[in-house]
Amino acid sequence: MTTCVVCVGNALRGDDAAGLEVLRLLEGTLPEDVLAVACEGEPVTLLSLWEDCETAIVVDATQSGAEPGTVRRLPAHEDPLPNELRRTSTHLLGVAEAVELARALGKLPARTIVYGIEGGRWETGAELTPEVAEAAGVVAASIRREVGAVA
């Protein structure tokens, strides 16, 4: 496997499900050699999910203070992730920390892209806000382009 798409989220916490919505939108549209998986537990499992991948694309909701629905595309293989994305996760260890741990251990894929979708509603039982749902569609389309999908 050379490319994996890992969509992080919690389906029970409003906009924290942004990554899972991207995964739903990608279903059936990616080339067969692209693995697309959900990560609903701790993001530190990213290290095992992308273990055999040359390219990893990670999608997660962020809480950086930007407007809900704001999308950030960050080439994590080039530079450390911005500080404002650290400790903004609903998980014990967030995606930014998992990426930096992988970098320190020499386990970061050669090409690692992180998409952050800024959330606004995190309550248990809440649904995605319209801004985040729209942003999920934008990110899914961008990922399709990145991996050479036809759809």
Choices 3.40.50.1450, 2.30.110.10, 3.40.190.80, 3.20.20.70: CATH for 3-70+84-121+136-147: 3.40.50.1450
Q: Give domain limits for the chain.
A: 3-70+84-121+136-147
Alpha helices in the chain (DSSP H): 18-26, 46-49, 95-105, 130-147
Residues of the chain with pLDDT under 50: 87-89, 91
Contacts of residue 48, Cβ cutoff 8 Å, sequence gap at least 6: none
> For 64, which DSSP code?
S
pLDDT at 40: 87
8 A C-beta contact, residue 45 and residue 107: no
Which residue from 115, 114, 116, 106 is spatially nearest to 51, judged by alpha carbons?
Answer: 106
User: pTM of this prediction?
Assistant: 0.91
pLDDT at 150: 62
pLDDT at 151: 54
pLDDT at 1: 60
pLDDT at 49: 85
pLDDT at 95: 86
pLDDT at 47: 84
pLDDT at 112: 95
pLDDT at 84: 67
pLDDT at 42: 74
Q: What's the pLDDT tens digit per position in 8-20?
A: 999 999 999 999 9
pLDDT at 108: 93
